[in-house]
Every structure is written in C-alpha cells, then in structure tokens.
Amino acid sequence: MKRTFKTAGLLAASVICSGAVSFAKPAPDFSVAKVLNAPVKSVKSLKDLKGKVVFLEYWATWCGPCVASIPHMNRLEEALKGEPVVFLSVTDEPEDKIAAFLKTHEMKAWVGLDEKHSSFKAYRISGRPDGYLIGKDGGLLARVFPVNLQESTVREAIAGKLEPQPVEWPEDRKAPAPRDGGKPLFELVISSSQGKPRMSGGYTRFESQAMSFKQNIAHAWDVENDQVLLDTEPVKSFNLLLQTPPGGMEEGREALKAAIQSAFGVKVERESRETDVYALRLSTEPGAPRPDPGAGEVHLGLMSYGGGTLVGTAKMPEIANGVWASMDRPVVDETGLKGVYEFELNWDYGSLESARKALAAKGLLLEPSRAVIDFVRVTPAK
C-alpha cells in the first residue's frame, strides 16, 4: 500500500518526535496590531507569549481550506483548554468583515488582525492556509498545515519533548542570479537526488527532494502513485524544482513533463485499462446516515488525504480519489451523489475493516468491483 499525505496540493508537514530534542532556531519575531476573541487586545512581540506554546495560523475568510479547518482547530482548542498554549489565527482582512464572519462561524482561537502585514512579512507568507508551531522558549519547532496539527504534537511541545523540524523558506535557497542582475521569472531544475525525501510548494513554486522516480512522475502528471506503470526506471529518485510567475503553474507543469522525458530518455503516455477497484457506494440500509453537505460558500478541495485521513469539502469523485490514497487499489465513485460534501475521517492505515467502519459512519460502503481506470505508462524513448 502507498502512504501519501497531501494538503491543498501540497505534501502535509509531518512532525517527528523523539526523546532527544535538538536546538530550535528562534522563531521570527512578529506583532499583531489587534486581537479579537482573546484576553489581550494586541500582541506587540513574541515575548508577550513567552512561556506558552504558540500555534501561529495564517488564514482568510475567502480561503476554503482555512474555513473548513476551523472545526478541527476548535476541537484542539477545547482539548487543550487550561494548557500553556495559544492558538493565534491571523488574517489581513478588515475588522468589520471578520466581525461579520464570526457571527456565523465560531472560532475558539485568538483572531489576529494584521492589515499592515507585519507578521505576514516576518513569516514570508505567500499563500494560505499556513501555520507555525513555536515553543515556550520562542524556538521555531515546525511548519504545520492547520488541518494536520495533532493534539499529541502540541502536548509534546508543551512538555518540551518535540524534536524541532527545520523550516526553510524558498528565498533561503538562492538560484544563480542572471548576468544582468534581473530576477528569474521561471526556473526549472532536475538534479540527482540527495538528502531525505520531502516535498513542498505553493501557488508559484514546487520542490521535491530525493522523491522516487514514480512519485515525481505521479506529481508531474497529476495522478496517484498506483496509476504510474513503469516499463523502465532510469533512476531510483531525483530532485525537482519548479518556480513560475503567479498563475503560471499549469504552463510550468507542461514544461516539467517535457523536461522529465528529455532528461531521462523516457516517453510517458496515458492509457486506460480494466482493473480491480473498490466501489464507493451508498448504503441501502433503512435509516442509514448520509454524508454531510458542504457549505456553498466554501471553496472546494481536499485539505488532507492519504495514510488513513480524509479531510475537506469536495464532490464525491474527488472524495473517492482521496480514499484511494489510503487503499491498495483504485477507488471509484458509484454513489450517484451530486453537489459537494464535507468529510473529516480518520482510520487505521492499512486496515480495510477500519476504513469501512469510518466510511459507514457517513452511510458509505467500500466494495470490491472492476472498472476502467486511466494510467500513465513510462517506456524508453525510441
């Protein structure tokens, strides 16, 4: 079985815990001019929160994944009530808009208003959602997407036992400057692999380090790992870097496909064939539950899926793809449901019985079947 963890098109940050804790670099200092829903009116400096673990979240009312993660953050706030931890959700939107939003959406976290982008600049925020976990001593412990933050991780941080995960910003990895001193508008680099496997990205940047050949092909062609058929594997792994102007990621992906095929002397073509699958179907039991309809104003998308997790608001075919990321075979939607639906499910990874039980809570069945599935096949270029 494969084990992938994805959030809003990105691989979700994971936090590694161990008994031996290494030194965390100081978190960038920041200020927030006004704070709502809190016992303080502002945060002038990180020193104001010394002695407390801080989860600094960047969000917006227009950001669907941000809004959809609010219930998860509320549950964390409730579970950790009374502990030395502050959940600070920062936006750059005006107070009147946030005040109106809070009338219809409960948020238990402190809500920071940073219209002047002071903290945004400190943490080089280029997209949302984003989040940073800061220790009681002001050390930067990890970059974690809000929906992936776990209670156990925060408790490890409170106890001072969380192993810091180094945080790198794209600007820290400088590309060679053009001879005329101009700023690169488009960058595409394929190189031999080194270091530990990891993947990161945003609206204008994607980077993978030491990811397998199959995983990189799956990302470039926007398919699951199981959809990649390898007749040849020229290398076990390689590094990718793609930087595009705003709005240029789709065109950049096409350039990436061509570059991969040229660099490794391969041809990647799509093909369809019948294979074993799991069909996602509605239970016909009387009184069976049904998936929760998603709010119409929330942007669509799965925030986290794979490894026994399914979180987000999406149409059922996308939900089926999200379940697929935790299965040993493709999952196809046969529910017949239209519209969008909201999910927050977890099950024991690798356990079909556990997955079926979690889906049954929403009135869904996962049954063996056969279907025609699209694949991409990698062959040597002629």
Lowest-pLDDT choice from 50-59, 191-200, 208-217:
191-200
Q: Which fold has domain 6-158?
A: Glutaredoxin (3.40.30)
23 falls in which pLDDT band (50, 70, 90)? low
- pLDDT at residue 219 is higher than 70: yes
CB atoms within 10 A of CB 166: 10
Rounded mean pLDDT of the chain? 85
29 falls in which pLDDT band (50, 70, 90)? very high
Question: How many Å apart are CA 253 and CA 258, to the nearest integer?
Answer: 9
- pLDDT at residue 171 is higher than 60: no
Question: How many Å apart are CA 345 and CA 348, to the nearest integer?
Answer: 11
Higher model confidence: residue 321 or residue 11?
A: 321
Residue 361's identity, in one-letter code, is A
CA angle 69, 73, 77 (to 5 degrees): 170
pLDDT at 295: 67
- pLDDT at residue 78 is higher than 80: yes
Residue 367's identity, in one-letter code, is E
Residue 23's identity, in one-letter code, is F
Residue 277 near residue 332, CB atoms below 8 Å: yes
Q: CA nearest 331: which of 360, 377, 373?
A: 373
pLDDT tens digits for range 315-368? 999 999 889 988 888 999 999 999 889 888 888 888 999 999 999 999 999 999
Q: Tokens in use for 25? A: 């670099």
Average the pLDDT over 34-57 and give the result: 94
Spell out the domain ranges in the chain. 6-158, 185-264, 274-377
- pLDDT at residue 20 is higher than 50: no
pLDDT at 10: 37
Question: How many Å apart are CA 218 and CA 162, to the nearest integer?
Answer: 32
Question: How many Å apart are CA 218 and CA 245, to the nearest integer?
Answer: 23
Lowest-pLDDT choice from 17-26, 176-185, 286-295:
17-26
How many residues in the chain?
Answer: 382
Question: How many Å apart are CA 243 and CA 187, to the nearest integer?
Answer: 5
Exposure pattern of 120-158 as b/e (b: 16+ CB <10 Å)? bebbebbebbbbbbbbbebbbbbbbbbbbbeeebbbbbb
183 falls in which pLDDT band (50, 70, 90)? low
Higher model confidence: residue 185 or residue 236?
A: 236
176 falls in which pLDDT band (50, 70, 90)? low
48 falls in which pLDDT band (50, 70, 90)? very high
Question: How many Å apart are CA 265 and CA 341, to the nearest integer?
Answer: 43
Average the pLDDT over 274-295 and give the result: 92
- pLDDT at residue 225 is higher than 90: no
Higher model confidence: residue 149 or residue 179?
A: 149
Question: How many Å apart are CA 347 and CA 345, to the nearest integer?
Answer: 7
- pLDDT at residue 8 is higher than 50: no
Higher model confidence: residue 10 or residue 242?
A: 242
Q: Tokens in use for 41? A: 């009116």
Percent of the chain with pLDDT over 70: 85
* DSSP label of 19: S
Q: E strands within the chain?
A: 6-7, 10-11, 34-36, 53-58, 85-91, 110-113, 130-134, 140-143, 187-192, 198-201, 205-212, 228-230, 237-243, 266-282, 292-293, 301-305, 309-315, 331-333, 340-346, 364-380
Phi, psi at residue 343, to the nearest 5°?
A: -130, 145
103 falls in which pLDDT band (50, 70, 90)? confident
Lowest-pLDDT choice from 2-6, 33-37, 152-156:
2-6
Average the pLDDT over 158-168 and give the result: 86
| Displacement of CA 289 from its chain's centroid (Å) | 28
Percent of the chain with pLDDT over 90: 52
Q: Tokens in use for 64? A: 């669907």
Phi, psi at residue 78, to the nearest 5°?
A: -70, -45
